[in-house]
Amino acid sequence: MAASPAQEPKLRKPPPPPVPRESDENGCGNCVPEDPVEETADSPYLRARRKLENLLNKSLRIRMTDGRTLVGCFLCTDRDCNVILGSAQEYLKPTDSFSAGEPRVLGLAMVPGHHIISIEVELESLNSLQYF
């Protein structure tokens, strides 16, 4: 027997895709393009992406809201401005007398975007040539 249309199970519609945020407290709303379809060769989105791609595998210094500083190799980021550092080392606040200047080895570290105050690229890292 064939089931009548009233007896067929109704399928749920998938939720709509997330809408990019206007901006958050870090002003990082520009990490997501408003309309990814409009990616021209000279669009601000592609220029920013190229700039980030040029920083891959470079040594970064990230200052965090709690006073810590992380130094490591820039591996990736995401739309929420979280950063993944490889071979990361943590330096505590200069006011801490217990470990003044001695780093703690973290290895692979994820830094939440909302905890980032500043990001610096180490000059030696920019000047070094990379051979593939």
What DSSP letter does each residue of 87-116 carry, written as one string?
EEEEE--TT-STTSS--EEEEEEEE-GGGE
Q: What value does the mean pLDDT take over residues 9-30?
A: 56
Q: pLDDT tens across 31-50, in order?
A: 554 445 456 778 998 999 99
Q: pLDDT tens across 103-130, in order?
A: 999 999 999 999 999 999 988 777 765 5
Higher pLDDT, 13 or 88: 88
Percent of the chain with pLDDT over 70: 60
Q: Is residue 21 part of a domain?
A: no
pLDDT confidence tier of residue 30, bands split at 50, 70 and 90: very low
Q: Is residue 116 part of a domain?
A: yes
Identify the domain containing residue 88 by its residue range. Answer: 58-123
Q: Is the predicted pLDDT of residue 4 greater than 60, yes or no? A: no
Number of Cβ within a 10 Å radius of residue 93: 12
- Exposure of 85 in the CB half-sphere (CA atoms within 13 A): 27
Number of Cβ within a 10 Å radius of residue 85: 23
104 Cβ partners below 8 Å, 6+ apart? 89, 90, 91, 92
The pTM assigned to this predicted structure is 0.63
- Reading the block at residue 29, the tokens are 């709303």
Write down the pLDDT at residue 114: 97
Q: Is residue 22 part of a domain?
A: no
Question: Is residue 82 within 8 Å of residue 19, measured between CB atoms?
Answer: no
Q: Is residue 48 part of a domain?
A: no
114 Cβ partners below 8 Å, 6+ apart? 24, 25, 26, 81
Q: What value does the mean pLDDT take over residues 77-102?
A: 84
Secondary structure string (H, E, C) spanning 49-64? HHHHHHHCCCEEEEEE
Q: Is residue 89 part of a domain?
A: yes
Q: Please give the tally of structural domains in the chain.
A: 1
Q: Which CATH number fits the domain that encloses residue 88?
A: 2.30.30.100
